[in-house]
């Protein structure tokens, strides 16, 4: 092919743009495969940002360490008689709580991110609207992983001996990561709705505290008054905590594991479309 001479040394491509050819090539939406590439590209961006701002990891590093030690020694005697008896109850609870903290940060950071100029570009590009939301959530899997392993290790150091063995622990950590990722869609939805990062933080707190403290994460549900017990029993966090306990302590894949997974799927099925819709509208 003969190339026409470039107009100037800086002209990028000697071929002229042909609008009608470009129009003919356009597609009405991103294919599943294209969307997946876009999500991974957005995940890559989120990982880059994490590496440049390691202070974002403080919550997932410090909270598991601090809470595990603190709760074990403060409540251990009162709730279970001794610290070592309380650890099998406590560690899965802390795990769930830490995962929820990460979820909350997901929503707040998304909101902050969306206020930046670069989001104008993301919106102006022909990309699936789910990509800017799902990308960071994939990167967050790293955070859930770190938080879970750290909590487990802290437990092991202060004397926790999970009966489920290595496989049970791997299963429990995996379930925590899945649950964290699923619940994060609630906070992502909040992130796309709220006016400011601060309001996301505020609303998230109001959701997170009942979800964790009104669950069986730290105390057995039976010790609570009846009306509270009822809420605790339908709280999806309770099911995740019970399932993780079964995996860690007995290495057993019980019905609770099934309920936890179903709960997670329901949350994703409801909140992922809500989040994408609210994000697409906010333009």
- Rule CB under 8 A: which residues touch another protein? 7-8, 10-13, 16-20, 22-23, 25-30, 34, 37-38, 41-42, 44-45, 48-49, 52-53, 116-127, 131, 283
Nearest approach, Cβ of residue 134 and another protein (Å): 13
Nearest approach, Cβ of residue 142 and another protein (Å): 17
Q: Is the dihedral of CA 72, 73, 77, 79 positive or negative?
A: negative
How far apart, in whole angstroms, are the C-alpha atoms of residue 215 and residue 47?
Answer: 32
Q: What is the dihedral of CA 161, 167, 172, 176, to 10 degrees?
A: 130
Of the pair 119, 259, the CB lying nearest another protein is at 119
Nearest approach, Cβ of residue 48 and another protein (Å): 6
Nearest approach, Cβ of residue 108 and another protein (Å): 16
| Tally of CB atoms within 10 A around 102 | 25
Residues with Cβ < 8 Å from 271, sequence gap 6 or more?
185, 186, 188, 189
CB 76 within 8 A of CB 85: yes
Of the pair 46, 244, the CB lying nearest another protein is at 46
Of the pair 28, 234, the CB lying nearest another protein is at 28
Nearest approach, Cβ of residue 102 and another protein (Å): 19
Of the pair 63, 109, the CB lying nearest another protein is at 109
Residue-by-residue DSSP string for 234-275: H-HHHHHHHHHHIIIII----HHHHHHHHHHHHHHHHHHHHH
Q: 63, 77, 86: which is closest to 220 by C-alpha?
A: 86
Nearest approach, Cβ of residue 196 and another protein (Å): 14
Of the pair 117, 225, the CB lying nearest another protein is at 117
Of the pair 75, 119, the CB lying nearest another protein is at 119
């Amino acid at each position: 092919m003969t190339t026409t001479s470039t107009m100037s040394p800086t002209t990028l491509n000697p071929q002229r743009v042909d609008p009608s050819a470009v129009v003919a090539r356009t597609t009405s939406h991103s294919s599943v495969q294209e969307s997946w590439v876009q999500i991974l590209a957005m995940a890559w961006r989120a990982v880059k940002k994490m590496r440049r701002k390691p202070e974002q990891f403080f919550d997932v590093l410090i909270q598991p360490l601090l809470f595990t030690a603190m709760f074990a020694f403060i409540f251990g005697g009162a709730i279970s008689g001794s610290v070592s008896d309380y650890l099998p109850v406590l560690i899965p609870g802390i795990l769930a709580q830490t995962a929820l903290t990460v979820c909350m940060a997901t929503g707040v950071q998304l909101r902050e991110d969306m206020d930046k100029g670069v989001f104008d570009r993301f919106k102006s590009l022909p990309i699936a609207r789910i990509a800017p939301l799902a990308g960071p959530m994939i990167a967050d899997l790293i955070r859930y992983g770190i938080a879970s392993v750290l909590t487990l290790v802290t437990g092991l150091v202060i004397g926790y001996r999970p009966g489920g063995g290595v496989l049970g622990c791997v299963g429990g950590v995996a379930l925590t990561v899945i649950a964290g990722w699923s619940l994060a869609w609630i906070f992502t939805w909040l992130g796309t709705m709220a006016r400011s990062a601060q309001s996301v933080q505020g609303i998230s707190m109001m959701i997170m505290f009942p979800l964790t403290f009104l669950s069986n994460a730290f105390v057995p549900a039976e010790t609570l008054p009846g009306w509270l017990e009822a809420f605790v029993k339908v709280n999806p966090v309770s099911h995740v905590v019970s399932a993780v306990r079964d995996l860690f302590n007995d290495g057993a894949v019980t019905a609770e594991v099934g309920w936890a997974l179903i709960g997670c799927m329901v949350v994703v099925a409801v909140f992922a479309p809500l989040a994408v819709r609210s994000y697409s509208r906010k333009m």
